[in-house]
Amino acid sequence: MSNAPILLTPGPLTTSLRTRQAMLMDWGSWDRDFNQLTASLCEQLLAIVDGAASHHCVPLQGSGTFAVEAAIGTLVPRDGKVLVLINGAYGQRLAKICKVLGRTYSTFETAEDQPTTAEDVERLLAADPTVTHVALIHCETSTGILNPLPAIAQVIKAHGKRLIIDAMSSFGALPIDAREVQFEALIAASGKCLEGVPGMGFVFAEKTALAAAEGNAHSLAMDLHDQHAYMAKTGQWRFTPPTHVVAALHEALLQYNEEGGLPARHQRYADNCKTLLDGMARIGLRSFLPTAIQAPIIVTFHAPKDPRYQFKDFYERVKAKGFILYPGKLTQVETFRVGCIGVVGAAGMQAAVDAVADVLREMEVLDI
């Protein structure tokens, strides 16, 4: 196990031995102990956003995208309209979900290195009073860009619209307070900044909105209203839960709190990000985003322009040295991505930089 490569990806990511060991026990899905595990999990998750008074935590089987689709399908009425703010692949995916679900939507797209601004949203909402919901990717994983959530949320509130936040790559590491940022739904998952394993999403759904959502959903399995109602009544999941994923996340949350909660998790990732950016700059690799809009979650780097550089060869050589990177997701320029999250610290990030430097020397791409 100790020889396993470090995943410098945006999830799945490297987990602790304690988290992996939590999956060695089998749980009965209707068992009281497992139901208590689920209830404890939801309570701890709500505490991270100070949302217990205003929101329900509704867990859902599947990846984060399952939870995004469930939130759109459940909370946006069939006659609603979603303004989707896009500056990367996950904003585009959210718009595609609206299309597939038959929800009316409009899009506003900025370049992949340009955050959406509050002024943009002010102008868009003033121009289209038919919009009922605005959907925002907090940290767009395709580049690592951070969108200005608090300022955008204020504009949406002032217009009396409802905010849906895809916080997949930010929840647990970047602060979001439900008492300060008014949202109808915030969506995240087990395998990101909480350092659990993939397989469970969850939606913080505003209580009155969820209560009013009966009959909206396009799908039985993804009906968050029905999922919450059944859990509230029985303490159980409606359908077979990802028991091992739940147990692993519960254990990961114990470690999250032991580490010092969100401030400590954010600081470790910020230190990782700085180590990565500084180290890559020293070997001549440029980051795609300016520091001001770079979230400490995943960093996109311009690929070397040398014709001897091929990502697949680069990837395999770095993997052989113990680190798994991520391909770029931009269409216009060639890039690769390096995650700053997971059970890794600044020393591990420096080791990754050293591995990248060694590989580029071996490939005769950089004379460093």
Tens digit of each residue's pLDDT (9 = 90 or more) over 238-289: 999 999 999 999 999 999 999 999 999 999 999 999 999 999 999 999 999 9
Pairing of strands 104-109, 81-86: parallel
Do 250 and 272 have their domain in common? no
CA distance 151 to 242: 36
Looking at residue 267, its pLDDT comes to: 98
Task: Note the pLDDT tens digit of each residue in 22-36.
Answer: 999 999 999 999 999
User: Quick count: other Cβ atoms within 10 Å of Cβ 108?
Assistant: 16
CA distance 360 to 310: 11
- Three-class secondary structure assignment of the chain: CCCCCEECCCCCCCCCHHHHHHHHCCCCCCCHHHHHHHHHHHHHHHHHCCCCCCEEEEEEECCHHHHHHHHHHHHCCCCCEEEEEECCHHHHHHHHHHHHHCCEEEEEECCCCCCCCHHHHHHHHHHCCCCCEEEEECEECCCCEECCHHHHHHHHHHCCCEEEEECCCCCCCCCCCCCCCCCCEEEEECCCCCCCCCCEEEEEEEHHHHHCCCCCCCCCCCCHHHHHHHHHHHCCCCCCCCHHHHHHHHHHHHHHHHHCHHHHHHHHHHHHHHHHHHHHHHCCCCECCCHHHECCCEEEEECCCCCCCCHHHHHHHHHHCCEECEECCCCCCCEEEEECCCCCCHHHHHHHHHHHHHHHHHCCCCCC
Count the residues in the chain.
368
Q: What is the CATH number of the domain that holds 23?
A: 3.40.640.10
pLDDT band at 332 (very low <50, low <70, confident <90, very high): confident
CA distance 164 to 205: 9
Are the CB atoms for 253 and 46 separated by under 8 Å? no
Q: Does any domain span residue 282?
A: yes
Do 123 and 235 have their domain in common? yes
Of the candidates 228, 257, 286, which is a domain's last residue?
A: 257
Q: Does any domain span residue 109?
A: yes
Report, as an integer, the average pLDDT of 332-345. 94
Do 179 and 70 have their domain in common? yes
pLDDT band at 11 (very low <50, low <70, confident <90, very high): confident
Q: Alpha carbon of 258 to those of 169, 254, 299: distances in Å? A: 21, 6, 27
Q: Does any domain span residue 296?
A: yes
Query: Is the pLDDT confidence value at 49 over 80?
Result: yes
pLDDT above 90 covers a percentage of the chain that reads 95
Residues 6+ apart with CB under 8 A from 264: none
Q: Does any domain span residue 196?
A: yes
Do 214 and 275 have their domain in common? no
Tokens of 283: 């070997």
Looking at residue 121, its pLDDT comes to: 98
Of the candidates 257, 286, 317, which is a domain's last residue?
A: 257
Report, as an integer, the average pLDDT of 6-19. 95
Do 140 and 75 have their domain in common? yes
The whole-model pTM stands at 0.96
Q: What is the CATH number of the domain that holds 329?
A: 3.90.1150.10
Name the phi and psi angles at 112, rounded to 5: -70, -10
Query: Is the pLDDT confidence value at 187 over 70?
Result: yes
Query: What is the maximal distance between C-alpha atoms in the chain?
Result: 65
Q: Does any domain span residue 43?
A: yes
Report, as an integer, the average pLDDT of 17-46. 97
Question: 229: closest CA among 250, 251, 205, 245?
Answer: 205
Query: Is the pLDDT confidence value at 1 over 60?
Result: no
Do 280 and 205 have their domain in common? no
Do 269 and 252 have their domain in common? no
Query: Is the pLDDT confidence value at 147 over 80?
Result: yes
Query: Is the pLDDT confidence value at 330 over 90?
Result: no
Give how many domains the chain has, as a whole number.
Answer: 2
Torsion-angle region of 284 (φ positive above 0: left; ψ -120 to 50: alpha; else: beta): left
Of the candidates 227, 257, 287, which is a domain's last residue?
A: 257
Looking at residue 368, its pLDDT comes to: 58
pLDDT band at 359 (very low <50, low <70, confident <90, very high): very high
Strand order in the sheet with 55-61: 55-61, 200-206, 185-189, 162-166, 133-137, 81-86, 104-109
Do 267 and 188 have their domain in common? no
Tokens of 291: 């520091």
pLDDT above 70 covers a percentage of the chain that reads 99
Are the CB atoms for 22 and 190 separated by under 8 Å? no
Domain ranges, residue 308? 6-10+261-362
Do 142 and 65 have their domain in common? yes
Do 248 and 220 have their domain in common? yes
Query: Is the pLDDT confidence value at 366 over 80?
Result: no
Q: Does any domain span residue 367?
A: no
Q: Does any domain span residue 269?
A: yes
Do 179 and 111 have their domain in common? yes
Q: Does any domain span residue 1?
A: no
Do 301 and 334 have their domain in common? yes
